[in-house]
C-alpha cells in the first residue's frame, strides 16, 4: 500500500480557538472539515511543506521555529495509507483566507468533535481538546 505523508497545522489564535478548513467541491471528501496543510513533496521536510502549504492555502506566513510537533495521525484509506504529523502553531503573519477551501472557521477545542472531518483528522480532536 502506498504511503502518503501530509503535514497539518493546528493554528491556535489568542483566544485558544483552532482553525479548521472545509474541503471544496470537486475534491475527495468535499464538505468535510480538516486541519490546514498538505502533501510533503520529495526532499521536503514536513515543516517546509507546512510553511509552503499555509502560504498557498491560507495566504499566511510562518517559520519552522513556530511549528511545534504535537502528535500524528496514521490512517489506512482504501487505496493509500496516510501519515500526518500535526504541528501546533500560535504565531504567523497575515490573516488566514480560504484560498483553496470552501470556508474557514475558528472553533473551540471542546467543540471540534461537532464538525464532520475526514477519518484521519478525527483522532486528533481529542488530543487537541485535552492539550489546549
Residue 126 to residue 1: CA distance in whole angstroms: 28
**Quick check: 123 pLDDT over 90?**
yes
**Quick check: 66 pLDDT over 90?**
yes
DSSP string, 63-105: -GGGEEEEEEEEEE-SS-EEEEEEEEE---BS----SSSSEEE
**Quick check: 132 pLDDT over 90?**
no
Q: What confidence category does residue 30 fall into, taking pLDDT thresholds of 50, 70 and 90?
A: very high
**Quick check: 13 pLDDT over 90?**
yes
Domain CATH for 120? 3.90.79.10
Q: Which domain holds residue 98?
A: 3-131
Mean pLDDT for all residues in the chain: 96
Give the pTM: 0.95
How many domains does the structure of the chain reveal? 1
Of residues 132 and 85, more confidence is placed in 85
What spatial distance separates the first Cα and last Cα of the chain, rounded to whole Å?
A: 34
Instruction: Give yes or no for a contact between 9 and 37, defined as CB atoms under 8 angstroms apart.
Output: yes
Residues in the chain: 132
Amino acid at each position: 500500500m502506498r504511503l502518503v505523508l501530509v503535514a497539518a497545522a493546528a493554528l491556535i489564535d489568542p483566544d485558544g480557538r483552532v482553525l479548521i478548513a472545509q474541503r471544496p467541491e470537486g475534491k475527495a471528501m468535499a464538505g468535510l472539515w480538516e486541519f490546514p496543510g498538505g502533501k510533503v513533496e520529495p526532499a521536503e521536510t514536513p515543516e517546509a511543506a507546512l510553511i509552503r502549504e499555509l502560504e498557498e492555502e491560507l495566504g499566511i506566513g510562518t517559520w519552522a521555529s513556530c511549528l511545534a510537533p504535537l502528535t500524528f495521525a496514521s490512517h489506512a484509506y482504501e487505496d493509500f495509507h496516510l501519515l500526518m504529523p500535526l504541528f501546533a502553531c500560535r504565531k504567523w503573519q497575515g490573516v488566514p483566507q480560504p484560498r483553496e477551501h470552501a470556508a474557514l472557521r475558528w472553533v473551540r477545542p471542546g467543540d471540534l468533535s461537532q464538525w464532520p472531518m475526514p477519518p484521519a483528522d478525527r483522532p486528533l480532536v481529542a488530543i487537541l481538546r485535552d492539550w489546549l
